[in-house]
Amino acid sequence: MSPDYRDFRPDPADAVLLRTRRQTIVWYLRVSWRPALSVAIVIAGAWLWVKFGHQMVNTHHAVRGRKP
């Protein structure tokens, strides 16, 4: 009965693998927040340009009396 019982115990190698994977995820999140922040700023800038930029261009053309 002891070999069957030993098969159901968690393997220490799996525990080490899970721990290193968790450390890798934490390290990746800690390192990659700067590129993610810059990408978010670029996306927000592009979204603001799409939302408000064409309105400013259209009003600028309308003030000058030319159709866009």
Q: What is the pLDDT of residues 12-32, one digit of tens each?
A: 677 777 778 888 888 887 877
What integer best gives the mean pLDDT of the chain? Answer: 74
Contact predicate 68/58, CB 8 Å: yes
Confidence of residue 1 (pLDDT cuts 50, 70, 90): very low
Q: Is the pLDDT of residue 45 over 50?
A: yes
Within 8 A by CB and 6+ apart from 57, the residues are: 68
Between the alpha carbon of residue 50 and those of residues 40, 56, 61, 65, the distances in Å are 15, 10, 17, 23
| DSSP state at residue 64 | T
Contact predicate 14/8, CB 8 Å: no
